[in-house]
């Protein structure tokens, strides 16, 4: 019966589950996942198999002993008690690695010296000879882990870290370690894609790490075949015939795998980097599998007939905005994927999810992996049109010394507005308000300030007319972002950019992302959830603040109907104002859910609050089916041609029908408040002359919108008796 040993296989943080699965796939017995690795109990052949075939492991340790080590003397005695002559001779060289944590012994190097002394003294006393220390490639490498005064002692059978495959020249370290590259490819399911005949592309291949790991996997090549040194070769119990049998089998599998390999392509625009990648490919003998060419990501000429996997490890910064070139690089990645790799799978390994948003693809899965101590994200994409989106985050900041003279005017205006509005907002208990709205023609942006658990800046760019040079418009936008960040003391992660163009269809509520990242803000006695990334608007129309306040005052004991309710903010104020019952109607289930969450946030729940998902125009066609209301609020979009509607909505054309139908639902003394934000809107008084109508636009424009008094129109209508 094969003698069983206890082994520990180490791996980088975050890769433990992958390692455990890989060990089981190698028919290793009794695998148990652990922190930074996995244990298994099996024979020596199993350990050899891991050294030869593991793509994920760092090292393979053979357990020697475990004992209390609450002092240097106890550590020394425990090491000396091990029968070292069963594992090495006095003529062998050794090295000692130690990791100490939460123990009386606090210094790694000191613990290593005590272990070395104990081993040397063991041989000195028994043979009158002593082994020498060799830091690089010793015959035996001893590893000890001392945690809470308990020592675990191992022999390192791998010798050097297994991520060192053996094909790189000395001093040629890869920015991405080979076992991390393998983990990326495993998470991206590359082996399955390759088995189905898919190709592999890395158009930012660098020195070729991902390319080579992809080829080794696809061609069933053991990563340990290229290594010339393992720790077990100097071990006294090493079974060379057993090892050679495994190597011979791996060579046969390699030959067979190379005969049926997929196509693997690498590209980069740096010629020196490409030469280095080609050199590594040549050393692995994979020239027939891996093809490398010089291609610029912004001018990529090639097309691919089949599908497969694109895997990328682009450079990344800590925050979007620190390096505008990186933002453009990630945009270029997205552009290339969308243009050349439709129906492919793709994965991007990055530390910056902000930069990753510039790709403009929705990730269908995200894994966490560590590149050294740095936690990174592996984003997986299914490159199809349904997953495309236009990123609305920042295009990059400008160094202070490059700002134009005009930007000083913007800075002064922002400071002035902020000083005036800050005191007012605090007095009114308002967390969200507009501090700038295209005050200066050169800087056509609106800037809204939001406060909650932290501060956020919602910056909306008004689409420049075609007569304006796009480069000039972009530069001014970047100046506005830079000035806003500095004046408002906001980090780039707190600034959210949207481009507001002339409204078409239901673009007012256009979905941009699906991050579902909500933040809580206050408005008077009410609270609301806002979202800065997923839609053009945040979920709270700031210009309707006085209207909401007025409705709260009018709602005491009244029944209230909110049509085109959006996220239900007006319903919240009505309920908080003491409405006897509320009805909220909107065509979007997403916004109705949002409205329910806003109501729940304000503790407004129960059967007296009803919600209907419906086309408001259709809902109003049969007023006799609904109960009458004391107070109705209507704030429709200017135009909508949503697929969920039976007809289009044009508010200039349809407002008379809309108002007349709604007025049929009013109680005798009821009031209807009608509003819209179509700038050139004209209320058709001649066709509505049977109602009492009062224009309240002026009194519903809040202090922070006085600079744009045409932000909306608003009327109160009553039935005549």
CATH number of the domain where residue 469 is located: 3.30.750.80
Same domain? 488 vs 540: no
Q: What is the pLDDT of residue 171?
A: 54
Is 291 exposed, middle or buried (CB count within 10 Å of its CB: 0-12, 13-18, 19+)? middle
Decide: 103 and 151 in contact? Cβ < 8 Å: no
Alpha carbons 361 and 380: distance in angstroms, whole number: 10
Q: What is the pLDDT of residue 406?
A: 86
Q: Is 241 domain-assigned?
A: no
Q: What is the pLDDT of residue 502?
A: 46
b (16+ CB within 10 A) / e for 539-551: bbbbbbbbbbbbb
Of residues 368, 386, 387, 388, the one with CA closest to residue 378: 368
Q: Is 171 domain-assigned?
A: no
Q: Is 232 domain-assigned?
A: no
Same domain? 273 vs 308: yes
Same domain? 286 vs 369: yes
| Tally of structural domains, the chain | 4
Average pLDDT estimate for 250-279:
93
* Residue percentage of the chain with pLDDT more than 90: 74
Same domain? 557 vs 640: yes
Is 510 exposed, middle or buried (CB count within 10 Å of its CB: 0-12, 13-18, 19+)? middle
b (16+ CB within 10 A) / e for 237-268: ebeeeebeebeeebeebbeebbeebbbbbbbb
Q: Is 513 domain-assigned?
A: no
Same domain? 568 vs 592: yes
363, 387, 411 - which closes a domain: 387
Residue 489 has pLDDT above 80, yes or no: yes
Under DSSP, is residue 284 helix (H, G, I), strand (E, B) or coil?
helix
Could you tell me the residue range of the domain that residue 532 belongs to?
Answer: 518-719
Same domain? 561 vs 696: yes
Same domain? 203 vs 134: no
CATH number, domain containing residue 525: 3.40.50.150
Q: Is 392 domain-assigned?
A: no
Same domain? 422 vs 369: no
Same domain? 383 vs 405: no
Return the higher-pLDDT residue of 124 and 499. Answer: 124
Average pLDDT estimate for 70-91:
95
Alpha carbons 655 and 23: distance in angstroms, whole number: 69
Q: Is 566 domain-assigned?
A: yes
Of residues 674, 690, 652, the one with CA closest to residue 503: 652
What number of CA atoms fall less than 13 Å from residue 381's CA on the CB side? 30
Residue 174 has pLDDT above 70, yes or no: no
Under DSSP, is residue 160 helix (H, G, I), strand (E, B) or coil?
coil
What would the pLDDT profile of 333-353 be if each residue is shown by its tens digit? Answer: 998 999 899 999 999 999 888
Same domain? 331 vs 450: no
Same domain? 149 vs 11: yes
Decide: 316 and 351 in contact? Cβ < 8 Å: yes
Task: Decide: pTM greater than 0.75.
Answer: no
Alpha carbons 207 and 382: distance in angstroms, whole number: 26
Q: Is 165 domain-assigned?
A: no
**Which two three-digit tokens encode residue 703?**
């202090």
CATH number, domain containing residue 152: 3.30.2130.30
Q: At what angle do helices 178-187 and 16-25 cross, to 10 degrees?
A: 80
Q: What is the pLDDT of residue 318?
A: 43
């Amino acid at each position: 019966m094969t003698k069983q040993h206890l082994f520990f296989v180490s791996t980088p943080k975050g890769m433990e589950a992958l390692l455990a699965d890989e060990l089981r796939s190698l028919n290793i017995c009794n695998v148990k996942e652990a922190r930074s690795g996995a244990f298994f109990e099996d024979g020596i052949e199993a350990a050899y198999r891991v050294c030869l075939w593991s793509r994920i492991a760092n090292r393979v340790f053979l357990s020697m002993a475990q004992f209390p080590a609450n002092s240097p003397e106890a550590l020394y005695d425990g090491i000396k008690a091990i029968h070292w002559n069963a594992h090495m001779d006095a003529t062998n060289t050794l090295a000692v690695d130690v990791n100490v944590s939460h123990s009386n012994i606090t210094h790694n190097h000191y613990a290593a010296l005590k272990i070395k002394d104990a081993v040397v003294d063991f041989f000195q006393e028994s043979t009158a000879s002593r082994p020498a220390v060799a830091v690089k490639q010793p015959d035996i490498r001893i590893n000890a882990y001392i945690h809470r005064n308990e020592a675990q002692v191992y022999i390192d059978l791998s010798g050097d870290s297994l991520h060192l495959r053996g094909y790189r020249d000395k001093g040629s370290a890869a920015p991405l370690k080979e076992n991390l590259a393998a983990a990326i490819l495993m998470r991206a399911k590359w082996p399955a894609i390759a088995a189905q005949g898919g190709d592999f592309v890395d158009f930012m291949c660098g020195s070729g790490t991902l390319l080579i790991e992809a080829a080794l996997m696809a061609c069933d090549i053991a990563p340990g075949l290229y290594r010339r040194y393992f720790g077990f070769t100097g071990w006294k119990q090493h079974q060379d015939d057993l090892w050679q049998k495994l190597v011979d089998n791996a060579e046969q599998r390699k030959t067979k795998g190379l005969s049926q390999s997929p196509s693997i392509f690498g590209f980069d625009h740096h010629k020196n980097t490409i030469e280095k990648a080609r050199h590594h490919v040549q050393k692995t003998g994979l020239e027939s599998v891996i093809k490398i060419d010089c291609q610029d990501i912004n001018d990529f000429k090639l097309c691919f007939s089949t599908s497969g996997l694109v895997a990328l490890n682009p450079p990344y910064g800590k925050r979007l905005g620190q390096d505008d070139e990186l933002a453009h690089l990630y945009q270029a990645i997205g552009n290339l994927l969308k243009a050349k790799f439709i129906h492919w799978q793709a994965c991007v390994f990055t530390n910056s999810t902000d930069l990753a948003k510039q790709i403009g693809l929705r990730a269908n899965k995200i894994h966490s992996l560590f590149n050294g101590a740095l936690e990174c994200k592996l984003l997986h994409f299914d490159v199809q049109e349904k997953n495309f989106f236009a990123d609305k985050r920042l295009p990059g900041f400008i160094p202070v010394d490059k700002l134009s003279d005009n930007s000083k005017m913007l800075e002064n205006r922002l400071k002035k507005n902020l000083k005036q509005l800050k005191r007012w907002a605090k007095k009114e208990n308002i967390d969200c308000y507009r501090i700038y709205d295209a005050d200066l023609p050169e800087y056509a942006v609106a800037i809204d300030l939001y406060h909650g658990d932290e501060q956020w800046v919602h910056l909306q760019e008004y689409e420049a007319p075609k007569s304006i040079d796009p480069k000039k418009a972009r530069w001014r936008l970047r100046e506005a972002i830079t000035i806003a960040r500095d004046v408002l003391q906001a980090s780039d992660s707190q600034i959210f950019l949207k481009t507001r163009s002339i409204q078409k269809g239901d673009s007012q509520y256009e979905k941009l992302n699906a991050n579902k990242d909500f933040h809580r803000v206050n408005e008077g006695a009410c609270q609301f959830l806002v979202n800065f990334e997923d839609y053009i608007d945040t979920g709270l129309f700031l210009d309707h603040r006085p209207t909401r306040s007025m409705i709260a005052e009018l709602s005491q004991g009244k029944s209230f109907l909110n049509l085109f309710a959006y996220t239900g903010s007006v319903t919240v104020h009505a309920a908080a104002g003491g409405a006897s019952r509320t009805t909220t109607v909107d065509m979007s289930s997403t916004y109705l859910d949002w409205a329910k969450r806003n109501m729940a946030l304000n503790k407004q729940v129960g059967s007296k609050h009803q919600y209907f998902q419906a086309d408001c125009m259709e809902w109003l066609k049969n007023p006799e089916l609904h109960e009458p209301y004391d107070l109705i609020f209507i704030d429709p979009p200017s135009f909508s041609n949503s697929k969920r509607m039976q007809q289009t909505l044009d508010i200039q054309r349809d407002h008379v029908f809309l108002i007349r139908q709604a007025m049929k639902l009013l109680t005798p003394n009821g009031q209807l408040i009608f509003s819209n934000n179509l700038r050139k809107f004209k209320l058709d008084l001649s066709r509505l002359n049977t109602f009492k109508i009062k224009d309240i636009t002026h009194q519903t424009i809040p202090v922070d919108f006085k600079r744009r008094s045409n932000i909306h129109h608003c009327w109160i209508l009553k039935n005549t008796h």
